[in-house]
Structure 1
Amino acid sequence: MGGKAPSAILTDQDQTKKAAIAEVFPNARHRFCLWHILRKIPQKLGEVLRKHGNFMGVFNNCIYNSWTVEDFEQKWQDMVEVFELDNDEWIKSLFEDRKFWVPTYMRDGFFAGMSTTQRSESINSFFDKYVNKKTTLKEFVEKYKVALQDREEAATHADFKTLHKEPTFKSPSPFEKQMSIINTHEIFRKFQLQVLGVSACYPIKEKEESMKNTFKVQDFEKKQDFVVVFDGRKCEVCCVCRLFEYSGFLCRHAMAVLQSSGVFRIPSHYILKRWTKDARNGYTSRHMSKEVDPKKQHFNNFF
């Protein structure tokens, strides 16, 4: 890749890969595929599942609804005690490797919203339509060219729809209107879900320090509270859920705070070029003035 090492690597859970990646790509952010870990539960914890019908609910709550490291570790410890898993070697290994697979530990690393290796697996599935185990090397080269051509045509068709077909609006939000012009249809649909969720959020200012305000945002849909910090001088907003840092677009909680603070446009540093309609053309969107890499944001200063 032109001598450039990957910034993020996603694999299945494997200690040999873990050691090799740490040695060869020491600066890459490595994570384990969450789906591969979850699919092992029936095999590794079959007896627990048979005895406790509520185990998966508790496990999922621990994994998906822990917004801080302290919160996760407390929930994990409670789960281990309740289901008597203190001596389970697999559970111990999961906790030791928690920084490689638990979403809470990954929210400051940009993975374009991916938590599984489904991207590479979908590529494998894509090529299954063109080649099989009986395909010769010569046939493979020709069919590979056809596969790439078909894929490029599909991408071009998607680009055409993005550029010439208006998305359907689901709210009067100025955020939705703004990003419909900038984002690709696929990303806009994901962002649109966050816009719709703003109506279920109620921000309460809890602390004010100069121009940096801390809010508690009550999310009535998720039935949880989220901490959001807003710096009015820089127009920077950071939510403890870290959706922007992880997926590259703002969450409902951050937008609720922006709205309550009198900001009705997504600041340009929260618009990533990779999600814009012009991304494949290699130039910055005409609808935005600049782009800031999520890794260059100073969010860690907030928490």
Structure 2
Amino acid sequence: MRSTQRSESMHSFFNKYITRNSSLIQFVKQYDNCLGSREQAERESDAADFHTVIPCATKSSIEAQFQEAYTHAKFREVQAQFRGYSVYEVGEQVSSSIFNKFVVTYDSVAVEVKCQCLLFESRGIMCRHALSVLSFEQVSQVSPRYILERWSKKVKRRHIHIKSSHDESLMEPRSKRFDQLVFRSQNICEFASESEELTAILHCAYDNVMAEIEALKAKRKGTSSLSHEEANLESVNELQSPPRIRTRGRPKKRLGSKLEK
């Protein structure tokens, strides 16, 4: 066979079963295997065409027409033609004499939009030009990639414990100690994260420190409760036995003093 475009596809098909060194008897046997494999693949393809559906990439009724008529293999080729980029030129009236134009590229499959003004790349928010194109394309929701996590209200921000220099006079001692610990631990973590071995050493050190802190807190808790009870007993004794105070001047005689004695 000549090396034409039609025969090349047939060569690639038979190359899975035979080689140039195969004998004629081997070719006859493998030829039957080739036909059986081809028929099985066609049966599976026909079953997939009738029992499964490839979703449309756009809202075009023409694409839905090809989806219903063509096989999956041919519909994928046609669908690739619908997946082209749409380019819009959005105008913006800045003033009575200035009218700017911005090029917006829109991908209907990935629902991606990119504007020439690059507002999203610089400030992390979508510009009015891109939003107008999405509205024109009747897109109900934007892709999650345009909702940056760092601006989400669900993110727990740890920097709220760190105060600015303007609040130095109002900063509590606990906040100061927290800032110092965070500063030192950040340097240690950056150094330990260079390897698994250093990370394991730091984890072990954290466990030992936490155990010592818990033991110290428990010891202080027991000591503080005991000292509190002793202080209460001393206050009770002072109330029961108040110290005698000697008055100034000549002591006055009271009636019945001899009888009391």
Is the shorter-chain TM-score for this pair beyond 0.5, marking a shared fold? no
In the superposition, the TM-score normalised over structure 2's length comes to 0.30
Q: Which has the higher helix share?
A: 2
